[in-house]
Structure 1
Amino acid sequence: MTRLPRPANPLRHLLLCAGLLAALLWTRGCLADTDDPPTVAGGVGMERLPSWPGAAASRNQPIPYVDIEIPNRISLSTLDGLQVDLIGGQVLHGGIYGDYQWGRDSDDLGVLRDKIAPLSPRLTMGGYLEWQLTRQIDVGTDLSHDTYGAGAYLDIYGEWDLPPVWLLQHSVELRWQAMNAPAMNRFFGINSVQASTLKVAAWQPGAGSQFASLEYDLFVPTSKHTGFALAVTYERLLGNAGDSPLVTRFGSRTQLSESVAFIYHL
C-alpha cells in the first residue's frame, strides 16, 4: 500500500473517520438480518513512515483505523480506500474505486523546506478489478486519477492470507505502482528554479514505475472483539522516481514503514 505523507490536519481526519464509522455502524444494524451482514472495525494507533515520498528520514504520527465491508457491495478502509463492487461475483469483483492521497507538509521537508513546494492532499477516483483466486489468495488492479487533474495512478497487487499460527492471523501483500508524467513530476520533478537552489540538475520525469513493495500484516487478538494490528512495509522506489535528485541526493530509494493499532471489531 502506498504510504504517502500525512494530511494537513490529522485531527480533522480522525473526526471524519469517526463520522464514517458511526454511519456504517447504523448501516450494519439495518442489514444485520441479511445472510451476509457487514463487518465493522475501528481503532487508533501509531505509524512510523518516511517524512515525504523518497525521504531517508522518518517520522511518527497517530493514525485512525476504520475498516468496513458489506460483502459483494461496498468496502471502506482508511488503508485501502473505497471500493463499490458493481459485479458482485464469487470470483470476480470490480467497480468504483476511490482513495485519499496525502501530500507533503513543509514541516516534514527538513533541509528541503522552502526549496521545493509542499503538496496538498488530493482525492483520487477511478475503477478496480479483483480476482479471488482461492479463499486465501486474491489479485487485483486499480486505476485512478487525481480529481484536481494532477496525475493518474495504476496499482497491481496480490495478497495471500497465510495459514494461522495458533490464534494469530497474518498475510503478505506484493504491490507495484506506476504514475503518469504529471503525477511523477508532482512528486519527483525539479524545475529550473528549484534545481538552481538545490544545486542539482533539473528533473522532468515521464510516466513509469514508481515503486514495488512487500507488506507483512499481523493481527494479534486480545479478546473476542479486540486485538492489535501490526504492519511492516518494505518499499523500493523505481525508475524515474528512484532516479530523481530529490531521492538520490536528499533521500533514499528504500522506504520503510511500520504501524501498530488497537482494533475493536463487531
Structure 2
Amino acid sequence: MRRRRHAPLALLWGIAALGASQAHGEDAPAAPDLTNYIGAGVIRMPGWLGSNNHRDQWAPFVQVTVDKVITLSTSDGLTVDFIHHDGWQGGLYGNYMWGRSHDDLGARLAGKIDSLSPRLNGGGYIEYHPNEAMNFGATLSHDTQGAGAYFNLYLDSGLPPIWGIEHSVQIQWQAMNQAAMRRFFGVTYDQAALLGTQAWRPGAGGQQIELEYDAMVPVTRRTGILFALDYARLLGDAADSPLVRHFGSANQISTSLGLVYRF
C-alpha cells in the first residue's frame, strides 16, 4: 500500500470542521436514539505493528446492532450476546487484525522480514456496565487460521457532551501468546544476519497499553463525522524487539476520520 496519501485525510478534516461549525451555529439537535451508523473514511495507522512510519487506509465505518443481540462494529468487532442481565453483557466475539505488506515494511525491511496477511480472530467477551456511561470488560480470542491468541482488558467511559458532540475515552491493555508475539515481533537467526541485529524469540506476555479518544460530531440529525485518536505504548518483549528498537518505535499513534449516516 502507498503511504503519505494526505489528500483524503485533509479533505475529511475540512468536512469535520465545517460540520462542527454548522452543528454549533444551528444548534443541531442531538440524536441519542440514532445509535447505528454506516459510512466510510480514512485511517492513518502505523505501517506495521511497531513501525515509526504511517500509511493512510480507506475503510468502512459501521456500527449496527440487531435486536440488542448482534453488534457489528469496525472499531470493536463482531459480538453475539448470550448474557444480557443486571448490567452484565457477554458472548461470542470476533475481530480483524491488520497484517503488513512488502510495501509497508519499506526498503530497510522488505525482503528481509516476512510480510504478514491480515487475520480474523474469534473467541468470547464479557463486560459490565455499572451505569449508562461506563463499561469495563475483557476479550479472549484466537486466530481462525493461525496459532496466535490475544487477551484484552478495557475500560470505556463516556464524557459529558459538548455542543452536541458525543465523545468517550477508553484505556486498554493487551497480551499475546508466544505464537502471536513471535509472528509480529520475532526475528530469526537468518533475518538477524540480514538486518545486522540479534535474533529475537519473544515469549507470551503484555504487548501494549492503549488510550483512545472517540468523538461523533453531528452535521445534521442523520449525519455525523467520526473522529478517533489512539495512542499505544508497546510493552515487554514487543517493545524490546530489534524490529521496534532499530527500525520502529514503541510509541504507536493512529487517527481515523469518517463521514457516517445514522439510523
**TM-score class normalised by the smaller sequence:** 0.7 to 0.9
Q: Which amino acid aligns with 2:205?
A: G
Q: 1:226, CA displacement in angstroms?
A: 0.2
Confirm whether residue 144 of structure 1 aligns to residue 151 of structure 2.
no
What is the match of residue 113 of structure 1? 110
SS in 2 for 1:256: strand
What is the match of residue 84 of structure 1? 80
Q: Deviations for 1:8-35, whole angstroms, at most 9, x for unmatched residues? A: xxxxxxxxxxxxxxxxxxxxxxxxxxxx
Structure 2 CA distance, aligned partners of 1:43 and 1:205?
A: 39
Confirm whether residue 97 of structure 1 aligns to residue 93 of structure 2.
yes
Is the contact between residue 54 and residue 255 of structure 1 (CA under 8 Å) also seen in structure 2? yes
SS in 2 for 1:204: coil
Counterpart of 2:222 (choices 222, 225, 232) is 225
Deviates more, 1:63-72 or 1:172-181: 63-72
What is the match of residue 249 of structure 1? 246
Counterpart of 1:54 (choices 39, 50, 55) is 50
What is the match of residue 65 of structure 1? 61
Q: CA 1:54–1:194 in structure 2 vs 1: closer, same or farther (change >3 Å)?
A: same
Is the contact between residue 37 and residue 62 of structure 2 (CA under 8 Å) also seen in structure 1? yes
- Ranked by relative contact order (alpha carbons within 8 Å, sequence separation 6 or more), the top structure is 2
Q: 1:39, CA displacement in angstroms?
A: 4.7
Counterpart of 2:125 (choices 119, 125, 128) is 128
Structure 1 CA distance, aligned partners of 2:174 and 2:71?
A: 21
Q: Deviations for 1:230-258, whole angstroms, at most 9, x for unmatched residues? A: 00001100000000000000000000011
Aligned-residue sequence identity (percent) comes to: 49
Work out the number of aligned pairs and report it. Answer: 232
Q: Which amino acid aligns with 2:253?
A: L
What is the match of residue 238 of structure 1? 235
Q: 1:47, CA displacement in angstroms?
A: 1.3
In structure 2, runs of 5+ residues without a counterpart are: 3-32
Is the contact between residue 99 and residue 119 of structure 2 (CA under 8 Å) also seen in structure 1? yes
In structure 1, runs of 5+ residues without a counterpart are: 7-36
Structure 1 CA distance, aligned partners of 2:190 and 2:115?
A: 15
Is the contact between residue 126 and residue 139 of structure 2 (CA under 8 Å) also seen in structure 1? yes
Q: 1:122, CA displacement in angstroms?
A: 1.1
Counterpart of 1:180 (choices 177, 181, 200) is 177
Q: 1:90, CA displacement in angstroms?
A: 3.7
Q: Segments of 4+ in structure 1 off by > 2 A?
A: 37-40
Q: 1:38, CA displacement in angstroms?
A: 9.2
Structure 2 CA distance, aligned partners of 1:49 and 1:121?
A: 15
Name the Cα RMSD after superposition: 1.6
Return the TM-score normalized by structure 1.
0.84
Q: Deviations for 1:165-218, whole angstroms, at most 9, x for unmatched residues? A: 121111000011000000000000000100100010100000001100100111
Return the TM-score normalized by structure 2.
0.85
Q: 1:40, CA displacement in angstroms?
A: 2.9
Q: Which amino acid aligns with 1:49?
A: M
Structure 1 CA distance, aligned partners of 2:166 and 2:36?
A: 17
Deviates more, 1:100-109 or 1:240-249: 100-109
Structure 1 CA distance, aligned partners of 2:247 and 2:92?
A: 37
Is the contact between residue 39 and residue 70 of structure 1 (CA under 8 Å) also seen in structure 2? no
Q: 1:194-209 residue pairs with structure 2 within 5 A?
A: 194-209=191-206
SS in 2 for 1:117: coil
Structure 1 CA distance, aligned partners of 2:154 and 2:46?
A: 21
Is the contact between residue 72 and residue 88 of structure 1 (CA under 8 Å) also seen in structure 2? no
Counterpart of 1:43 (choices 39, 42, 52) is 39
Is the contact between residue 179 and residue 210 of structure 1 (CA under 8 Å) also seen in structure 2? yes
Q: 1:163, CA displacement in angstroms?
A: 0.7
